[in-house]
């Protein structure tokens, strides 16, 4: 494939470090990208099963409320009071008949429509809002909603295609495989990443690093590049799924001589890696990503969603949602919880992802004119039957640059 050229002569194999560092990009990304032609993960449908159930979430840095309406539908609106801008909902989740802002008690219905204003006629005939003020002239910002496999996504752009088209057939198949039964949240927390959100967006698309940075993966043969698998990238470049199959060979010398792997190590409690084959296939790990800020993984019996939310140019909130199935047996639920020691900020595998973005930030702090290099697996963004490739990262940048006009 030809070198893919971007406006200004850039190629997808080079990313200027300024793209992670420029504070001005944070506002541009909010306006053009997160509020642009993309699907933002909002919550699980099961987070809001009954009318009046709500959860707060984010579209980029914008706080958002997602609500189950009286009619059984899903509504979402910017979590910003139309009066003077206070958060309308302060907690992570709850149940309500309507929403009243804490500051001056402006009241909203479950769909985020302004319904009433305290003291709008003033007190004792004095003060109050002018006659000309009409609540109907003031509307909260509402994203368009779509659901897929029990997940709720929102977009502010009419130009965003339906979610199935946006993520493409391969990512869709992986998503439906993981969400093949009703999902149940079995844990959630936020990990603060000391780095730009795009370094994490790259990391979840970078299966080439997994068995090298995460020594646990290669040592205990959970994920080696020599196992079968590959990466599928959506047509728009922004969404991808990496798949790892079970090892087929007893002896695997692919990692001999690579300093990060020590085959002399053994787990003193190997039961942590006792896996149940729930799907009857050879897939051991799948990590899928949806542009811009969503990833979902399945490693053995571990399932998790990761939503990454920029909070500053060099700071990101990583919202982890651990998942089981609603009909898990107690034994299987215990197994998932035990294997979840692989994930999270102190996970045997994921802990390194919590610091590697900051290693890049610190390494490249004085490199504004330098570039990050993405040549593994060529220079295109096509799907490949190998994970020794950076094709999905190049796909991320293809979409980022198209939307940002860079």
The footprint of Fe ion (CB under 5 A) covers 353
101 binds, among Fe ion, ligand FES, none (CB under 5 to 8 A by kind): ligand FES
103 binds, among ligand FES, Fe ion, none (CB under 5 to 8 A by kind): ligand FES
Helix, strand, coil tally for the chain in percent (to 5): 25, 30, 45
CB of 83 to ligand FES, least distance (A): 3
- If the CB atoms of residues 46 and 113 are measured against ligand FES, the closer one turns out to be 113
323 binds, among ligand FES, Fe ion, none (CB under 5 to 8 A by kind): none
30 binds, among ligand FES, Fe ion, none (CB under 5 to 8 A by kind): none
Select the residue whose beta carbon is closest to Fe ion and give its number. Answer: 353
CB of 389 to Fe ion, least distance (A): 15
CB of 117 to ligand FES, least distance (A): 8
- If the CB atoms of residues 194 and 370 are measured against Fe ion, the closer one turns out to be 194
Whole-number Å distance between alpha carbons of 74 and 272: 39
353 binds, among Fe ion, ligand FES, none (CB under 5 to 8 A by kind): Fe ion
| Main-chain dihedrals φ then ψ at residue 124, nearest 5 degrees | 50, 40
End-to-end CA distance of the chain: 22
Grouping H, G, I as helix, E, B as strand and the rest as coil, residue 150 is coil
Q: Tell me which DSSP letter residue 313 carries.
A: T
Binding site for ligand FES (CB under 6 A): 81, 83-84, 86, 101, 103-106
Instruction: Please enumerate, as own/partner, the contacts of 85-88 that have beta carbons within 8 Å and a separation of 24 or more.
Output: 87/63
- If the CB atoms of residues 81 and 313 are measured against ligand FES, the closer one turns out to be 81
CB of 287 to Fe ion, least distance (A): 9
Whole-number Å distance between alpha carbons of 393 and 385: 16
Whole-number Å distance between alpha carbons of 215 and 253: 15
CB of 290 to Fe ion, least distance (A): 17
231 binds, among ligand FES, Fe ion, none (CB under 5 to 8 A by kind): none
- If the CB atoms of residues 56 and 350 are measured against Fe ion, the closer one turns out to be 350
Alpha helices (H) along 253-377: 330-339, 353-363
How many Cβ atoms from other residues are within 10 Å of residue 235's Cβ? 13
Q: Is residue 299 a contact partner of residue 174, using CB atoms and an 8 Å limit?
A: no
């Amino acid at each position: 494939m030809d070198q893919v050229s971007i406006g200004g002569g850039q190629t997808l194999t080079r990313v200027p470090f300024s793209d992670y560092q420029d504070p001005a990009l944070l506002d541009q990304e909010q306006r053009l990208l997160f509020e642009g032609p993309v699907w933002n993960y909002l919550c699980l449908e099961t987070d809001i099963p009954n009318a009046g159930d709500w959860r707060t979430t984010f579209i980029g840095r914008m706080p958002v409320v997602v609500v189950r309406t009286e009619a059984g539908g899903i509504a979402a609106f910017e979590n910003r009071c139309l009066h003077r801008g206070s958060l309308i909902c302060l907690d992570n989740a709850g149940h309500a008949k309507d929403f009243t802002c804490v500051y001056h008690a402006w009241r909203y219905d479950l769909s985020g429509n302004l319904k009433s204003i305290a003291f709008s006629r003033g007190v004792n005939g004095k003060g109050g809002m002018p006659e000309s003020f009409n609540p109907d002239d003031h509307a909260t910002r509402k994203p368009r909603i779509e659901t897929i496999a029990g997940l709720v996504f929102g977009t502010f752009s009419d130009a965003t295609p339906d979610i199935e088209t946006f993520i493409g057939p391969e990512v869709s198949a992986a998503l439906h495989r993981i969400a093949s039964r009703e999902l149940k949240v079995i844990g959630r927390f936020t990990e603060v990443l000391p780095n730009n959100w795009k370094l994490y967006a790259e990391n979840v698309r970078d299966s080439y690093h997994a068995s090298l940075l995460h020594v646990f993966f290669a040592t205990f043969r959970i994920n080696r590049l020599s196992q079968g698998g590959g990466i599928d990238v959506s047509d728009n470049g922004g969404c991808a799924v990496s798949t790892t199959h079970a090892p087929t060979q007893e002896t695997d010398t692919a990692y001999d001589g690579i300093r990060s792997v020590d085959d002399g190590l053994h787990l003193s409690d190997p039961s942590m890696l006792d896996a149940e084959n729930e799907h009857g296939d050879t897939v051991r790990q799948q990590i899928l990503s949806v542009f811009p800020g969503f990833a979902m993984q399945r490693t053995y019996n571990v399932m998790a969603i990761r939503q990454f939310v920029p909070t500053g140019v060099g700071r990101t909130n990583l919202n982890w949602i651990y998942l089981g199935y609603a009909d898990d047996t107690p034994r299987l639920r215990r197994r998932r919880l035990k294997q979840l020691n692989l994930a999270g900020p102190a996970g045997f595998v994921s802990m390194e992802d919590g610091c590697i973005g900051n290693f890049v930030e610190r390494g490249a702090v004085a490199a504004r004119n330098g570039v990050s290099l993405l040549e593994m697996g060529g220079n295109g963004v096509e799907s490949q039957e190998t994970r020794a490739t950076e094709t999905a990262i190049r796909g991320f940048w293809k979409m980022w640059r198209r939307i940002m006009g860079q």
